[in-house]
Chains A and B, each alone.
Chain A
Amino acid sequence: MTNLSPLTEVTPEVPRSRNRWRGLLPRWSPRLGAGLGLAGAIVLFGLIGPLLTSDPATIRDIGLTPPSGEHVLGTTVTGQDILAQLALSTRGSLQIGLLVGIMATLLSGVFGIAGAYAGGVVDEVFSLFSNVMLVIPGLPLVIVIAGFVPPDQRGTATISLVLAITGWAAAARVLRAQTLSLRNRDYVAAARVSGEKTWRVICVEILPNLLPILASQFVFAVVLAILSEAGLSFLGLGAANSSTLGTMLYYAQNGFALQREAWWWFVPPGLIIALFGGALALINFSIDEIINPKLRDRARRKRDVVAVLPETAAAEQDAVLTVKNLNVVYQADTPVHAVKDVSLTLRRGEILGLAGESGCGKTTLAYAINRLHRPPAEVTSGSVVFHDRDGEDIDVLALAPEELRAFRWVKLSMVFQGAMNSLNPVTPVRAQLQDVLRTHRSDMSTSDREQQCVEVFRLVGIDPERLGSYPHELSGGMRQRVMIATALLLDPQVMIMDEPTTALDVLVQREILNEIRRLRDELSFAVVFITHDLPLLLELSDRIAVMRDGEVIEYSTAEDLYLRPQHPYTRQLLASFPSLTGERGALIP
């Protein structure tokens, strides 16, 4: 719930669909089409091909003839028709792939899903077993097992079973991780509270949500099985009397097809495997996009088309930031106008509150001010002008990339909501403060940089010893202080704070608010404070802008907004926060 992506603010109109499976189907894309088409063609070839071609075993005295009208793909060293062999072998490989795919998926389901749902000792044992199976290399094990079984007892079933036993572990690990996350979802808890039996919880509540992952793991298992079987057969260890693409390659190798440059013998079988594997991989891309929507194709970024307005009116006295008629649009299939004609002025040293509910465009607006919005969001018109201390006016929307980079954090810094996620988890916080100085104050000496970090830590009331800590070693309030310290590093004139205290407990929130107020008084930077918590803004800010549906519907001093709200929505918002001290009982209907 701390994802700051501006996209989450826009709730698109979802088309009503009564088909519960639709959400699980991959979105159509050329890739998916190509994958399905190719895989379908190969499956058809394996199904129907053997019926249409001549007997693949017929020996003729036309060994190693290149492709011709009669034998489209030429012949083997013993004159057998390669196309006929190819069709039969494709069928054999697909059979094994399917068989192993099903068995391996079942095994991974039992060890991954059931284990993870059961939890406790069962999970520990299953998980240990899967991990051990995972690190023991599969093919050498299969080779050893196949080596011990006498060839006459090496049937397709045996080989499939061995391949399934050595090939399920990776999928089990993926399924376990996903099941662990699903079983802690509240809807699973809710199903248990309503009295559902365990097997029903697994099958009806959890399994449907695992389907995309199961599908992707199944597809993967099929490819792996076909590849492993081909390798095994190529080594002469495949199932006895079977015809697969691997055995074809085995005969081609032993018939010296390579040395005799009979490419028509050894190229097609490998090509079928590669194409089938590639086709399934393409299908898997689309399944991956269901599992992780972030992977979906995105439109390329267009440059913002900004009609730069001539500065008609002089900037307000004492202003540090002027936003004029700013419009931001999400260029989706149906464009969403997230920020509509917003004009705001931030005075030097003032705290400007930006209030609104989720989806009102307040975060999009904040990002657009610093041009942090990402496609498909676009600034379509308006201006953002920063009035520097030395009197220079900076047109932020017109800055070249390098200038923009130099502008950010030096003039205007930001503090985001989820401090846990705003800090890079893999480096100590010192490195993340130093980064700023290294980039913007490259002439600073190492000891000066360290001194500066220590100083801002003292300023926000953290022991400088903590510079060496990793983010996960700090409490939520501490992390937010680190973010504020980082924001102070370059003595900025403006600080944009996006829900900086929302994820914190009230006591910590109170401390952070006091801190912000104290620092603002000492260092006199201006603050844009974004939150849905109107009482908090009323207490903290000098002026407040209330946003709804991308528009600023009321913009006045905190006192006026509290005592004389003009817009009905503002009044509704104010009424949404019952007072701790006021009269009681009025709210109960």
Chain B
Amino acid sequence: MTMNYYVRKAAFYLAALWAAVTLNFVIPRMLPGNPVDILMAKLQQRGGTVDPAARQAYETLLGTGGRDSVFHEYVTYLGNLLRGELGVSVSAFPAKVSDVIAGSLPWTIVLVGLSTLLSFLFGVGLGAVVGWKRGTWLDSLVPATTVLSAVPYFWLALILVALLSTGLGWFPLSGGYDVVLDPGWSAEFIGSAIYHGILPALTIVISSIGGWLLGMRNMMVSAMSEDYVLTARAKGLRDSRIMIRYAARNAVLPSVAGFAISLGFVVSGSIVTELVFSYPGIGSKLLQAVQNNDYALMQGIFLVITIAVLGANLVVDLLYGLIDARTRDRSAVA
């Protein structure tokens, strides 16, 4: 039975991955416009060679306009993906799409990963306390943080920049590091990267913490009326222990299970946030690609973001199997 849960989860994420890859293949073919011609024109502007091979590479990605069978295109497309060949970027010509992504992905993973983790921990922790201390002044935190999560990420970023960078001069306006430094593993560079990352991270944390807090608080309130909490009180356990081991331990489960939904919002928000800060992450690159009709890069980035999100969700799901023994034994559908 135990295997069942993990096998089922793995199968689900494979299906989701296949859906994303296929979506990526279908979208340019279904929508109006002739992306291949636009790309070739761009390529020419940048001084690229307009040989048939380059055209063919783009056509595999975006559609040949009916010359080859769709099935043939699809197989070639999957083959290229497996080999990691995502084509050549027009906006960063002559760099390959995979190289552009490799250069920017770590920035986003560290920024979004760390801030999501922080916001989850703070949000869930605060939510547990607010739920436990229900009926005290802490209740007013709930509407306050909820309003914060209705604030557009990029607008909050603008306000923070206006206040803390332009106004007070505490943080740099934009960028991922001090441009006079050479990227590398030097203490100076890492310090600069952290310094530049604080405001973008703050934006993400402030915007996303309300959702975690509210969800956890509501589940905490429900869990507190459960019989096992009553039993724990009857047992004479210390309040802190009842709160953590009995109430919060159960209340956190839906938050973890709902991680997928929340992560989608955070990733979406952080893409726009990166633009405000001109952060050298993958969100900025996606926008650069869109603005320059760099379809190959656009698709590559979409795939990579999707894979990263799917991967994160898979990890969370596996973790969920660890913290809730019941799921492992249940034979329900994903």
Cβ-neighbour of A228 out of B24, B33, B225, B268 (below 8 A): B268
* Interface segment, one of A79-87, A320-328, A408-416, A444-452: A408-416
Indicate if B64 sits at the interface (CB-CB under 8 A): no
Indicate if B16 sits at the interface (CB-CB under 8 A): yes
With contacts A136-B16, A267-B159, A301-B135 taken as known, whether A285 is within 8 angstroms of B267 at the C-beta atoms is no
Cβ-neighbour of B227 out of A2, A170, A234 (below 8 A): A2
Q: Quick check: B228 and A422 within 8 Å, CB to CB?
A: yes
Q: Quick check: B147 and A277 within 8 Å, CB to CB?
A: yes
A-B contact list, 12 entries, CB within 8 Å: A135-B260, A135-B264, A149-B33, A150-B32, A231-B154, A234-B272, A235-B275, A270-B151, A281-B147, A295-B218, A416-B230, A440-B236
Q: What is the chain A residue whose CB lies nearest that of B267?
A: A137
Q: What is the chain B residue whose CB lies nearest that of A145?
A: B27
Cβ-neighbour of A273 out of B155, B161, B249 (below 8 A): B155
Give chain B residues whose Cβ lies under 8 Å from the Cβ of A173. 261
* Interface segment, one of A103-111, A184-192, A255-263: A255-263
Cβ-neighbour of A258 out of B27, B162, B234 (below 8 A): B162
How far is A409 from B13 in the complex, measured between Cα atoms in Å?
47
A270 CB, min distance to chain B CBs, angstroms:
3
Q: Quick check: A235 and B228 within 8 Å, CB to CB?
A: no
Q: Quick check: B326 and A470 within 8 Å, CB to CB?
A: yes
CB-based closest 9 A-B pairs: A277-B150, A139-B268, A270-B155, A408-B236, A278-B147, A421-B227, A147-B290, A281-B146, A274-B151
Q: Quick check: B134 and A436 within 8 Å, CB to CB?
A: no
B4 CB, min distance to chain A CBs, angstroms:
15
Give chain A residues whose Cβ lies under 8 Å from the Cβ of B98. none
Q: Quick check: A425 and B250 within 8 Å, CB to CB?
A: yes
Q: What is the chain B residue whose CB lies nearest that of A419?
A: B227
Number of residues on chain B facing chain A (CB within 8 A): 91
Give residues of chain B (1-45) contacting chain A, Cβ–Cβ below 8 Å: 12-13, 15-16, 19-20, 23-24, 27-28, 31-33, 35
Indicate if B269 sits at the interface (CB-CB under 8 A): yes
* Interface segment, one of A124-132, A335-343, A578-586: A124-132
State the B residues within 8 Å of A (CB): 12-13, 15-16, 19-20, 23-24, 27-28, 31-33, 35, 134-136, 139, 142-143, 146-147, 149-156, 158-159, 161-162, 166, 218, 221-222, 225-228, 230-238, 241, 245-246, 249-250, 253, 260-261, 263-264, 267-269, 271-272, 275-276, 286-287, 289-291, 293, 295, 298-299, 301-302, 305-306, 309-310, 313, 323-326, 329, 333-334
How far is A33 from B326 in the complex, measured between Cα atoms in Å?
42
With contacts A140-B306, A144-B302 taken as known, whether A223 is within 8 angstroms of B150 at the C-beta atoms is yes
Q: What is the chain A residue whose CB lies nearest that of B218?
A: A295
B18 CB, min distance to chain A CBs, angstroms:
9
How far is A136 from B15 in the complex, measured between Cα atoms in Å?
11
Q: Quick check: B135 and A140 within 8 Å, CB to CB?
A: no
A8 CB, min distance to chain B CBs, angstroms:
10
Give chain A residues whose Cβ lies under 8 Å from the Cβ of B306. 136-137, 140
Cβ-neighbour of A426 out of B33, B158, B324 (below 8 A): B324
Q: Quick check: B268 and A140 within 8 Å, CB to CB?
A: yes
How far is A148 from B333 in the complex, measured between Cα atoms in Å?
35
Indicate if A22 sits at the interface (CB-CB under 8 A): no
Give chain B residues whose Cβ lies under 8 Å from the Cβ of A464. none
Q: Quick check: A4 and B227 within 8 Å, CB to CB?
A: yes
Give chain B residues whose Cβ lies under 8 Å from the Cβ of A300. 135-136
Give residues of chain A (477-505) contacting chain B, Cβ–Cβ below 8 Å: 483, 486
Indicate if A423 sits at the interface (CB-CB under 8 A): yes
Q: Quick check: A426 and B227 within 8 Å, CB to CB?
A: no
A274-310 interface bits toward B, Cβ cutoff 8 Å, 1 = contact, 0 = none: 1111101110010010001011011111000000000
Q: Quick check: B231 and A408 within 8 Å, CB to CB?
A: no
Q: Quick check: B325 and A439 within 8 Å, CB to CB?
A: no
Q: Quick check: A258 and B158 within 8 Å, CB to CB?
A: yes
How far is A373 from B13 in the complex, measured between Cα atoms in Å?
47
Indicate if A406 sits at the interface (CB-CB under 8 A): yes
Q: Which of B235, B272, B289, B326 has the most CB of A within 10 A?
A: B235
Q: What is the chain A residue whose CB lies nearest that of B134?
A: A298
B41 CB, min distance to chain A CBs, angstroms:
14
Indicate if A92 sits at the interface (CB-CB under 8 A): no
Q: Quick check: B232 and A424 within 8 Å, CB to CB?
A: yes
Give residues of chain A (434-475) contacting chain B, Cβ–Cβ below 8 Å: 435-436, 439-440, 470, 472-473
How far is A297 from B140 in the complex, measured between Cα atoms in Å?
12
Indicate if A405 sits at the interface (CB-CB under 8 A): yes
A475 CB, min distance to chain B CBs, angstroms:
14
How far is A71 from B245 in the complex, measured between Cα atoms in Å?
58
How far is A401 from B147 in the complex, measured between Cα atoms in Å?
37
Q: What is the chain A residue whose CB lies nearest that of B310?
A: A135
How far is A418 from B143 in the complex, measured between Cα atoms in Å?
35
Q: What is the chain B residue whose CB lies nearest that of A489?
A: B235
Cβ-neighbour of B326 out of A134, A418, A472 (below 8 A): A472
Indicate if A370 sits at the interface (CB-CB under 8 A): yes
Q: Quick check: B301 and A140 within 8 Å, CB to CB?
A: yes
How far is A4 from B306 in the complex, measured between Cα atoms in Å?
45
Q: Quick check: A273 and B299 within 8 Å, CB to CB?
A: no
Q: Quick check: B309 and A231 within 8 Å, CB to CB?
A: no
A232 CB, min distance to chain B CBs, angstroms:
9
With contacts A128-B12, A421-B227 taken as known, whether A137 is within 8 angstroms of B309 at the C-beta atoms is yes
Q: Quick check: B155 and A153 within 8 Å, CB to CB?
A: no
Give chain A residues whose Cβ lies under 8 Å from the Cβ of B310. 135
With contacts A135-B264, A143-B286, A301-B135 taken as known, whether A405 is within 8 angstroms of B227 at the C-beta atoms is no
Indicate if A77 sits at the interface (CB-CB under 8 A): no
Indicate if A348 sits at the interface (CB-CB under 8 A): no
How far is A73 from B154 in the complex, measured between Cα atoms in Å?
21
Q: Quick check: A426 and B329 within 8 Å, CB to CB?
A: no
Cβ-neighbour of A270 out of B139, B159, B228, B333 (below 8 A): B159
Q: Quick check: B166 and A259 within 8 Å, CB to CB?
A: yes
Q: Quick check: B226 and A421 within 8 Å, CB to CB?
A: yes
Give chain B residues whose Cβ lies under 8 Å from the Cβ of A470. 325-326
B317 CB, min distance to chain A CBs, angstroms:
10
Q: Quick check: A148 and B28 within 8 Å, CB to CB?
A: yes
Give chain A residues whose Cβ lies under 8 Å from the Cβ of B135. 297-301
Indicate if A230 sits at the interface (CB-CB under 8 A): yes
